[in-house]
Amino acid sequence: MLNWLNFEAKVVVVTGGASGQGRAAVHQFAGAGAAVVIADLNVEAAEAAAQAVTAAGGRAVAVAVNVADEIEIETMVDTARDRFGRLDVLFNNAGIGFSARKRYTMASVVDTPADDWDSILAINLKGVALGCKHAIPVMLEQGGGVIVNNSSVNGITGVPGADAYTASKGGVVALTRTLAVEWGSKGIRVNCICPGAIETPMIAEALSDPAYAQSVRDDNPMKRLGSPDEVAAVAVFLASDAASYVNGAILPVDGGWTAK
């Protein structure tokens, strides 16, 4: 039987790979044999993640990346090709949310300053677009590749209170569909995952309130929060040969929250 989750000959770039869902994906891709480029704004944390992979016998390199900066995205893609010779998978995972509320307003569109709106969309949506823009030509040269974008349940449902975040994640969903249609015939699959409430540093502050944490669990059909590993496993599946006919999918990873 073929091992559909074998990434031994593949090179994977994970943005936001130093923590949370990104770091979980780094370890799962590396554990499946991939060489991994760990891109993150926090380069020290990215280097620590790379060291953990290499200590376990894997291949990884860290690169400092602000995903809203096109030059840094170009450097990220060049690093994959220069260090490992190719780029097979891009996991556009980097983004900001609740944990960034001290820097950017997470509120109704009425109460969101225009500069904050622009900054949130630059990171969450433009960052994904730039990753795709520079990865696709490399994948075309190779004859194919896979892009997995990380959106949110906010991108597919009406969740008021963080409208710039929600708009950015909805944009990721729409962009995924467009790219899947445009590039599928060229051997490039593009899919999107939409996590619900996941226990990551992004929402750790909110979950520190026991009453709020319990309310989130009670509101979920599975009566619990998800883990970074559970989200990462879906990203790895979509990037694998097991999902070879999956293109343009928008997949909730939310314990059934959006099914209600």
- 120: alpha, beta or left? (left if phi > 0; alpha if psi -120 to 50): alpha
The reply to whether 245 belongs to the active site is no
Gap between the Cα atoms of 187 and 119, Å rounded? 33
Q: Which of 104, 165, 212, 245 is catalytic?
A: 165
Residues 6+ apart with CB under 8 A from 122: 68
> Looking at the annotation, which residues are catalytic?
165
